Structure 1
Amino acid sequence: MSAIDYMIDNDGAGDFAADATRPGDLDQLRPLPRISIHAFCESEAVQRLMERCGQDRRMAKVSLRITGGSVAAAANMFASVSTPNLIILETATEPRALLSELAPLAEVCDPSTKVIIIGRHNDIALYRELIRNGISEYMVSPVGMADILTAISAIFVDPEAEPLGRSLAFIGAKGGCGSSVIAHNCAWGISHLFSTETILADLDLPYGTANIDFDQDPPQGIAEAVFAPERLDEVFLDRLLTKCSEHLSLLAAPSMLDRAYDFESAAFHPILEVLQRSAPVSVLDVPHAWSDWTRSVLAEADEVVITAVPDLASLRNTKNLLDAMKKLRPNDRTPHLVLNQVGMPKRPEIAPNEFCESLEIEAAAIIPFDAVLFGNASNSGRMIAEIDRKAPAAETFSQLAHLLTGRTAIKKARRGGLGKVLARLGRR
């Protein structure tokens, strides 16, 4: 086994105690590269932990195999097959016998293979001896998912690489609920409030409205990127961007019906990767559709915002989206909910507190219906804060910009009552 450079904590030994993994623990981790990992687990707990790791979006490119077995089982297997990039071993062996147990495995390991050991003994002398003998990391159980992913990242992700930008995906619970307007105003707010370079990508190729909302008529945009992924890099992307303001650029949709826009699951992966390398914040305006590629985009984004209006169809669709996101993103924060067009005259509505109570989620923002303000903004190709910076909606977009960039948490909408609307859905 080959030795690697390893950074330890200030006390020289590292802190091996693991707490329960929280979504925030994983926020700063970069996606892992295309590597192969084989984990040998002696306990069901570690096997379940590795299965959870395999479901995380940061492991999307990783080929992970999990086997119930000991260090000896790993040595027997790799005596006849090549070793992967990384082997993760769980063992309960006593410290004085552990190196002897690892010897047969060392004889069959490729020189480039890295090894992480999850042991039972918090022994600093053992830890130092293992590192000297080429083990990449020794962790004391119980360990959490954040510990595993951090350890893998420390081995395979270049610490000198530029930090990746954050991607914020906006999707509507149904058509016409205003998700694109929310996305565009949040993108403008982030770029304007924090002087942060922001890219707004309109992924609704046939019907996108970002070019209208910003009064732009770009000759090219996202279609050139998605249909020519082999050309895509930071230089090519820069040629496709349209400058909307000092710190905001637009990757516009063609908004034309001259061809069908059928995409496979990974069609937008190259674009998202280049966007993350090109700007600190990327806002993704995802169309109201459910396909392989929209699922893939939502699964990869750092944050997801669902926009809904207070009616029964939106409630049902929002619940379905939240359930789907929980499966697609089991280790990430719950998507943010924005209730839009609240208080539309003569429209029967579900009260916001009942809407949220039924979903067991707090609304990140509640935006009142204001046809004049939003209509004027749309028709003039300007953002809400440009039309009236003192409007309540402008303040709401400012708070959303703070929330989504992690600058501060905004005040949650109040909930109350005994919302039973989902029970009504079940009886329909």
Structure 2
Amino acid sequence: MSDAAYKDEMDAEAPPVATEDPAPPPRAGADETRGAQPANDQNASEGGLAPVMKPVPRITIHAFCEFPESGSTIQRAGEDRRLAKAHLTVHMGGVAAAVEQYQTASTPNLIIVETSASGNELFSQLGALAEVCDAGTKVIVVGHLNDVSLYREMIRQGVNEYLVAPLKPLAVIEAVSRLYIDPDAPPIGRTIAFMGAKGGVGSSTLAHNIGWSISTSFNEDVVIADLDLPFGTAGLDFNQDPAQGIADALTAPERLDDVLLDRLLVKCTDRLSLFAAPAVLDREYEVDTESCESVIEIVRAGVPCVIVDLPHIWSPWTKKALLAADEVVITAMPDLASLRNTKNLVDLIRQARPNDTPPRIVLNQVGVPKRPEIPAKDFAEAIGMDPALVIPFNPGLFGAAANNGQMLEELEPKGKTSDNLRDLAQMLCGREANAGKARKSFSLKKLFSRKA
């Protein structure tokens, strides 16, 4: 996938922005004019893929609401992973409370104010707020009128963003992100984290094959990051033996740049690269949470898709990497231990990521002869969601692929397992396969010829 096409696709996920905003007159506060149209686009990401947005930097946000519902929504937005670094406080009282507070205190980086006023009263309130705002403070107004002319006038007055109530947490997150993320900065890639409900369920095998499928079936550049440092199998699965890898980056993340990254990555195909684990036991590995986060952020800045292969351990850095991913895939087997652990993981992820797509559950090695199993239907009922994929037990195919250092699609490109993996890959990256699927074209000529 070309860089231009990648950027176009990422830009398409953002809501429309106003294109006729004249430069605002000099005033205190809200020094950069930029905002989304006050249309009801707040549910655009619900029910589909979670939007890929860079985390908002360490800023201070004060919100002043008139209605408890708005305050609760903004508070939930502040708990989202993308606003984790920001410090948010919510107050009641609307614009009047904000004006009163900042008469004796300096203003934060961002003020969110809710108002039900309109017309001259509304702009009188905003004028009073402007009088007490420090230079550089940005302002988001939450109103109750979906009026384009009102929106344009607010932008002329220097308001940075206008949102229409009732709010959704994701709309607040996107609005804040647009104000603090450079629009000319390159897009970031989608991160997909894979974790097994227990050891030996095939999570790494699934992660590697999904990465391969995304790179081959959807023509996307993919990096697979193997974070199981002592026992990682990515090198084996791709028949690679790199001298350097992800451990070198984790030990000195401040040195990681594009040049060093290219040297540490192993190129498996034109579109698939491997950030391999050392998989040796001659030293102990202490992974720092911030180092892991930094390395993943640097990698995702250069490719559309990063597969994060997490080991089955529970530590601060694995938890952080799991919850920070754009998509989460949990691989389980149809047994009691997997059921318990899957339910615990699902409950944690749902609680910590209320504005994101729920985790995808893959039930692997189903139908082992003479082994008592929990039926897939009962498994789904217990965890409260259906598996995204159920993979039948096929030791011949999986064993041959592992021993040969090949992917499943290489051995059996037209098999049911390969088809299912491509379907899951499409679900995770939201793209259609580029091979074997001709699109129907719409022709005005054909339409008119029918009437002739």
Normalization by structure 1: what TM-score?
0.89
Alignment partner, residue 138 of structure 2: 114
Q: How does 1:171-182 map to 2 (within 5 A)?
A: 171-182=195-206
| Pairwise CA distance, 1:229 | 1.1
Alignment partner, residue 97 of structure 2: 73
1:287 matched to 2:307? The reply is: no
The more displaced of 240-249 and 117-126 is 117-126
SS in 2 for 1:349: coil
Alignment partner, residue 238 of structure 2: 214
1:105 matched to 2:129? The reply is: yes
Whole-angstrom distance in 2 between the partners of 1:93 and 1:264: 49
Alignment partner, residue 362 of structure 1: 386
Whole-angstrom distance in 1 between the partners of 2:42 and 2:244: 49
Whole-angstrom distance in 1 between the partners of 2:165 and 2:368: 55
The more displaced of 127-136 and 372-381 is 127-136
Q: 1:26–1:146: 8 Å Cα contact kept in structure 2?
A: no
**Percent sequence identity over matched residues?**
49
SS in 2 for 1:117: strand
| Pairwise CA distance, 1:20 | 9.1
Alignment partner, residue 59 of structure 2: 35
Alignment partner, residue 341 of structure 1: 365
Alignment partner, residue 266 of structure 2: 242
SS in 1 for 2:388: strand
| Pairwise CA distance, 1:258 | 2.7
Q: 1:308–1:338: 8 Å Cα contact kept in structure 2?
A: yes
The more displaced of 90-99 and 158-167 is 90-99
1:84 matched to 2:112? The reply is: no
Whole-angstrom distance in 2 between the partners of 1:242 and 1:17: 41
Shift in alpha-carbon separation, 1:122–1:344, aligned structure 2, 3 A: closer
SS in 2 for 1:259: coil
The more displaced of 107-116 and 118-127 is 118-127
Whole-angstrom distance in 1 between the partners of 2:83 and 2:387: 30
Shift in alpha-carbon separation, 1:353–1:270, aligned structure 2, 3 A: same
Alignment partner, residue 406 of structure 2: 382
| Pairwise CA distance, 1:42 | 2.2
Alignment partner, residue 157 of structure 2: 133
AA aligned opposite 1:48: S
Normalization by structure 2: what TM-score?
0.84
The more displaced of 94-103 and 345-354 is 94-103
Q: 2:187 aligns with which of 152, 158, 163?
A: 163
| Pairwise CA distance, 1:109 | 1.2
The more displaced of 317-326 and 230-239 is 230-239
AA aligned opposite 2:231: Y
Q: 1:71–1:101: 8 Å Cα contact kept in structure 2?
A: yes
Alignment partner, residue 327 of structure 1: 351
AA aligned opposite 1:57: R
Shift in alpha-carbon separation, 1:55–1:99, aligned structure 2, 3 A: same
Whole-angstrom distance in 1 between the partners of 2:80 and 2:123: 32
Q: Deviations over 1:325-349 (max 9, x none)?
A: 1122111111111111111122111
SS in 1 for 2:111: strand
Q: Deviations over 1:14-37 (max 9, x none)?
A: 425855972548514433233221
| Pairwise CA distance, 1:110 | 1.4
Whole-angstrom distance in 1 between the partners of 2:224 and 2:89: 37
Whole-angstrom distance in 1 between the partners of 2:113 and 2:79: 19
| Pairwise CA distance, 1:381 | 1.0
Whole-angstrom distance in 2 between the partners of 1:120 and 1:189: 46
| Pairwise CA distance, 1:289 | 1.4
Structure 2, unaligned runs of 5 or more:
1-28, 434-452
Structure 1, unaligned runs of 5 or more:
410-428
Alignment partner, residue 426 of structure 2: 402
Whole-angstrom distance in 1 between the partners of 2:128 and 2:30: 15
Shift in alpha-carbon separation, 1:109–1:170, aligned structure 2, 3 A: same
SS in 1 for 2:105: coil
